Structure 1
């Protein structure tokens, strides 16, 4: 009876989203001198009798005693590769897995010197890769036949949210920074998040907060501050604010503004009425004015035509 042996060990990931998959050896024994090929962005782990035997990075390997001294110290390699041996072989994708999503399912509580305790929601994306295959296998992957990035992503979502809250508290970041400078916040949060991923043999190559949602009262405060920063003419700003307030029904400020405007209009109307003229000397009677007109004519200061015209005009007043 011929015993089948594995002579060539290599594998292309059946799915690009796989983090880890078991080499399909169908319980065959590995022949002494078998060739192992590990491609770039791959690592291979050998498991013998439940224990990690060795890890191989990119390259081509001939599996014999000279090349793999670690294996010879384990029970499964007591014959020094002089006879076939058995091992569980796991392949790992070690390239970056990008644009994984995270978010806070419930608001995260943070402390702020100006607003006290504030609840915020946040969500974003991150990139990771496996940097410690043994730790990842022991702490997370276990002996599953395969493990996909989507499974890990779903589990990490619930893991990241509380860690994000802890990191936010440790960073002592103000609400102003959260609302106005997400780039700076990303740079502060990423190194604080990394230790929690390192426990699983993972590296966070990028951590991004895409958006942070603040409470309505905080947003209203920012709107007022931003508006005041743009004010250059306080008189115009006051007029603009009053006009906005007057447009709103049942508004105390608007009602007061309307009353003030009405009083101002009334005051302007009163001020625009000219004061009564001071009383002058009583007008002369017609007889006196006729006498003066005759004196002017006799003195030669007016001619006959002027005298006659003025006289007729005065006589009409009688």
Structure 2
């Protein structure tokens, strides 16, 4: 995406030539609102092909008076391999492990399907005039929905491996609905990983090794037994030490 000029507006004279490259659309923009859109090709600017000029700027029909506006060039191609991820860990309430901080990352692909709607709702309303700014907005929107999807579909991260595909599909569906409101198609969204802190991952590995015990009481019994076993391996350690045999 490119905005001409990068800030403010410039005088555009009727009769000027507007050249729009393939896979682009040009949107005339002023005061936070899109005025008109042009597809690929060479266009001569006139009140005949931009009727809004007469009503918004009061320009005479067929006249050559300049008007103040900016032009936003929007690429209509598919943008592949864009990355998303949590900037900070997301706090998740786990029914087994209490509060857990999770990180997540992945890739996504998007394309603009309605340039004028996109400019009105994203570029103008949010003041995002650079490709980098728009991509950051995409990422923030995905992470916001990730929090919702985790809360609605996951009760404990111990179940994460078997629910991974379901969570990814739920996130993609929710984000696609959100993006469509802004003239954007979510072509694809992949969830690379959802990762807890290292100490929590160790707990999950131990639970998995036990055959997925059903509650923390069982897990604590396992840890107690594990501790006794480790003590018995130490020099002078015995299975009966401290148990009060005899």
Instruction: Mark yes or no: TM-score above 0.5.
Output: yes
Counterpart of 1:152 in structure 2 is 134
The runs of 5 or more residues in structure 1 that have no matched partner are: 1-18, 227-241, 258-318
Contact 1:54 1:70 in 2 (8 A): yes
**Which structure shows the higher strand fraction?**
2
Q: Which residue of 1 aligns with 2:55?
A: 73
Please report how far the alpha carbon of residue 45 of structure 1 lies from its aligned counterpart in structure 2 after TM superposition.
Answer: 0.9
The verdict on how the C-alpha distance between 1:207 and 1:144 changes in structure 2, with shifts beyond 3 A counting, is closer
Give how far 1:220 is off. 1.9
Which residues of 2 match residues 9-24 of structure 1 at below 5 A?
Answer: 19-22=1-4
Question: Does structure 2 conserve the Cα–Cα contact (< 8 Å) formed by 1:125 and 1:209?
Answer: yes
**1:95 partnered with 2:77:** yes
Structure 2 counterparts to residues 51-130 of structure 1, below 5 A: 51-76=33-58, 78-86=59-67, 87-110=69-92, 118-130=100-112
Contact 1:22 1:145 in 2 (8 A): no
Aligned twin of 1:45: 27
Which has the bigger relative contact order, CA under 8 A and spacing at least 6?
Answer: 2
Tell me the secondary structure at the aligned position of residue 95 of structure 1: coil
Number of aligned residue pairs: give it: 219
**Per-residue deviation, 1:186:** 1.8
Distance 1:131 1:177, change over 3 A: farther
| Equivalence for 1:164 | 146
1:24-35 equivalences in 2 (<5 Å): 27-32=10-15, 34-35=16-17
What is the CA distance between 1:113 and its match in structure 2? 6.6
TM-score scaled by length of structure 1 = 0.54
User: Any idea what the Cα deviations from partners look like across 1:149-173, whole Å, max 9, x if unmatched?
Assistant: 3333345544533331112223457
Question: When the two structures are superposed, what TM-score results if normalisation uses the length of structure 2?
Answer: 0.67
Contact 1:101 1:125 (8 Å CA) reproduced: yes
Shift of 1:54: 0.5
CA contact (8 A) 2:2 2:73 kept: yes
Q: Is this contact kept in 2: 1:31–1:83, CA < 8 A? A: yes
What's the Cα RMSD here? 4.0
Rate the CA distance shift 1:104–1:219 in 2: closer, same or farther, 3 A. farther
Correspondent of 2:208 among 204, 222, 225: 222
Structure of higher CA gyration radius: 1
The residue that corresponds to 1:212 in the other structure is 194
- Structure 1's 56 and 29: CA in aligned 2 closer, same or farther, altered over 3 A? closer
Measured against aligned partners, the alpha-carbon deviations of 1:39-69 in whole angstroms (never above 9, x if no partner) come to 2321111135765320122344343344333
Between the aligned partners of 2:60 and 2:163, the Cα distance in structure 1 is 63
SS of 2:143's equivalent in the other structure is helix
